[in-house]
Amino acid sequence: MESITLNVENVTGFIPESEIEKWQSATSGHLQHLIRRDGQGNDFLGWLNLPSSITDQHMEKIEASALKLRQSSDVVVVIGIGGSYLGARAVNDALSHSFSAMGSGQKNPRMIFAGHNIGEDYMHELLEMLEEKEYSLIVISKSGTTTEPAIAFRILRENLESRLGKEKARSRIIAITDQKKGALRQLADEEGYDSFVIPDDIGGRYSVLTPVGLVPLAACGFDIRSLVKGAAEMESRCLTDAAFSQNPATLYAAARNLLYRQGKKVEILVNYNPKLHYLAEWWKQLYGESEGKELKGIFPAAVDNSTDLHSLGQYIQEGERMLFETVLSVREPDHRLTIPGGEANLDNLNYLAGKRIDEVNKMAELGTTLAHVDGGVPNMKIELPKINAFFLGQLMYFFELACGVSGYLLGVNPFNQPGVEAYKKNMFALLEKPGFEEETRKIKNRG
C-alpha cells in the first residue's frame, strides 16, 4: 500500500545520524506514554485511536445528515474558529478545484466560512453573497459562547430564519457541540437541530476526524471514508513496534527537537502546490498551540513556493540561521500540461518546450532545497504520492501523533492551551461583559 514518506537526509549534515538514533529510546518512551495514557494531558487523547474506532453506523449517521444539506444548498457555511474550522478547510481546499469560488468543478455545495474573524465588512459581504444562494449552516462550538462563532451564528441564523421561516430553517442547521452542556447544546435540543458531539477527550486542533471535520466535508461531497481509512492506516503503522527509522512520527519528532536544541527556533512548512496552503494553516495551529508554552517551543511558519521564493526566499537563504524547513512534496499532480514551443523564442523558454509544468516545479523544489541546505538551512521532506483524501488522512494523523511525542520531548503538555484565554479576558473587560466588572475597572485604570 502506498504511503506518505519522511526523508531526513538533509538534516544529517547538521545533526549526525548517530545523534538522531540516540533519541530512539526517548521518543519510543514518550510514544508509550501516549499509548498507555499516563503522560501529561492524558485526558485529551481521544484522537489517538480514533481512526480505527470510527464505526460504519457513525459514518452512516454523518452521511445521512450531510446529504440533507447537500441536496438543499448551493453553499454550506461552516461557523467555527481555530480547530473548529481549520481541519475541514485544509481538506476542502486541498481537494477542491482551484477555481471553485468561480463555480468551476463544482457539483456539490461550496464550503465557506464564518465565525473565524470579527470582520464587519466580511460579514456584511457574506450576507450579500448569500442573498443569491440557497445555504445551510454548520455551527461548531463546544460551549456555544465563543465570541467569534457565536456572533456569526446569531446573525446568520436570524438571516436564514427570516428568509425560510423558523421551521424550514431548522432543517438547514447542524450543530456540533458538547454532548450534555453549553448554550449551543441547549439551543440544538430546544430547536431540534440535527446535532453531533465533540468528544470531551479531543481538543479542537486534534478534531478533524470527529464530526467537527467530517460533517462539513461530507456535506460538501468529499470522501470522508477514504480520509478516515488513510488516518487508520497511519495509526496502525505508527502505534506499533516498528523500528525507529520506520516510524515517521517519532523520527520527525526527534529530528525537529534536536534541531531546536541547536538553536533552530523556527520551522517553516514549505509546499509547492497551492492546494496545500490551508493544510499549512492547520499545521500551524496544531504545533503552535501544542508547543508554545512555558517560554518554549518551535515557532511554526509556512511558505507557498515558488511564490514565496520571490518574497521570503531571500531571508530563508541568507537571513539569521535560526530556522529549518519541512517540505511537503507531491509526487504526482492530478493533471498533465506541457509547455509549448515558440517560434520566435523571445522569452528564451524553448529549452522547456515539451516538458511538463510539474517537472519545472520539481526542479524548483530540488534546486531550492539544495540552495537552502548549502546556505545552512536543514531540510526534511514529506512526500505524498498524490493529493487525495486517503493520503491527507495519513498526513494529518502523522502530524497529530508526531506533535504529541514532540511536545513531550520538549517537556510541555501538548494538549492544553492556557495562553489562549489571556486575550479573551482583556476583550471581555473592554466590552464590559457582565461578570468582568473588576477586570474592566483595572484595565481602564491602565489608560
- For residues 119 and 219, state if they share a domain: yes
Domain membership of residue 232 (yes or no) is no
Range with the largest mean pLDDT of 17-26, 339-348, 368-377: 368-377
Enzyme catalytic residues: 289, 310, 424
The answer to whether residue 406 scores a pLDDT higher than 80 is yes
Q: Which pLDDT value is given to residue 428?
A: 75
Cell numbers that stand for 9 in this block: 537526509
Q: Which pLDDT value is given to residue 104?
A: 82
Structural domain for 124, as ranges: 50-227
Residue 272: phi and psi, rounded to 5, are: -115, 20
Q: 98-112, 134-148, 298-312: which range is least confident on average?
A: 98-112
For residues 281-295, average pLDDT: 97
Say whether 33 sits in a helix, a strand or coil.
helix
Give the number of other CB atoms < 10 A from CB of residue 134.
Answer: 13
Which of the listed residues 227, 251, 272 is the one where a domain comes to its end? 227
The answer to whether residue 294 scores a pLDDT higher than 70 is yes
Which of the listed residues 201, 227, 253 is the one where a domain comes to its end? 227
Q: Which pLDDT value is given to residue 421?
A: 67
pLDDT bracket for residue 283 (50, 70, 90):
very high
Domain membership of residue 234 (yes or no) is no
- For residues 244 and 373, state if they share a domain: yes
Separation of alpha carbons 337 and 420, rounded Å: 45
Q: Which pLDDT value is given to residue 9?
A: 95
- Which H/E stretch holds residue 299? strand 299-304
Domain membership of residue 430 (yes or no) is no
Which of the listed residues 184, 199, 227 is the one where a domain comes to its end? 227
Q: Which pLDDT value is given to residue 93?
A: 97
The answer to whether residue 373 scores a pLDDT higher than 70 is yes
Q: Which pLDDT value is given to residue 1?
A: 78
Report the amino acid identity of residue 222: F
Contacts (Cβ under 8 Å, ≥6 apart) of 303: 268, 269, 270, 271, 312, 316
Domain membership of residue 447 (yes or no) is no
Q: What does each C-alpha distance from 396 to 4, 35, 286, 346 come to in angstroms?
A: 11, 18, 10, 45
The answer to whether residue 439 scores a pLDDT higher than 80 is no
- For residues 213 and 282, state if they share a domain: no
Q: Which pLDDT value is given to residue 276?
A: 98
- For residues 350 and 398, state if they share a domain: yes
The answer to whether residue 101 scores a pLDDT higher than 70 is yes
- For residues 107 and 255, state if they share a domain: no
Largest CA distance in the chain: 76
- The answer to whether 188 and 140 have CB atoms below 8 angstroms apart is no
CATH number, domain of 66, equals: 3.40.50.10490
Domain membership of residue 391 (yes or no) is yes
Q: Which pLDDT value is given to residue 357?
A: 96
Domain membership of residue 434 (yes or no) is no
For residues 43-58, average pLDDT: 97
Q: Which pLDDT value is given to residue 221?
A: 96
Q: What is the pLDDT of residues 190-223, one digit of tens each?
A: 999 999 999 999 999 999 999 999 999 999 999 9
- For residues 152 and 270, state if they share a domain: no
The answer to whether residue 72 scores a pLDDT higher than 80 is yes
The bridge status of strand 135-140 relative to strand 75-79 is parallel
Laid out side by side, the sheet with 173-177 consists of: 110-114, 75-79, 135-140, 173-177, 194-197
- For residues 14 and 68, state if they share a domain: no
Domain membership of residue 421 (yes or no) is no
CA dihedral 37, 41, 44, 46 (to 10 degrees): -20
Cell numbers that stand for 227 in this block: 480520509
Domain membership of residue 220 (yes or no) is yes
For residues 217-244, average pLDDT: 93
- For residues 255 and 335, state if they share a domain: yes
**How many domains does one find in the chain?**
2
Separation of alpha carbons 270 and 258, rounded Å: 20
Cα 83–chain centre separation: 7
In terms of Cα–Cα distance, which of 129, 206, 210, 132 is closest to 177? 210
- For residues 400 and 311, state if they share a domain: yes
- For residues 251 and 372, state if they share a domain: yes
Mean pLDDT value across the chain: 94
- For residues 22 and 100, state if they share a domain: no
- For residues 156 and 290, state if they share a domain: no
pLDDT bracket for residue 426 (50, 70, 90):
confident
For residues 370-397, average pLDDT: 98
pLDDT bracket for residue 171 (50, 70, 90):
very high
The answer to whether residue 424 scores a pLDDT higher than 70 is no
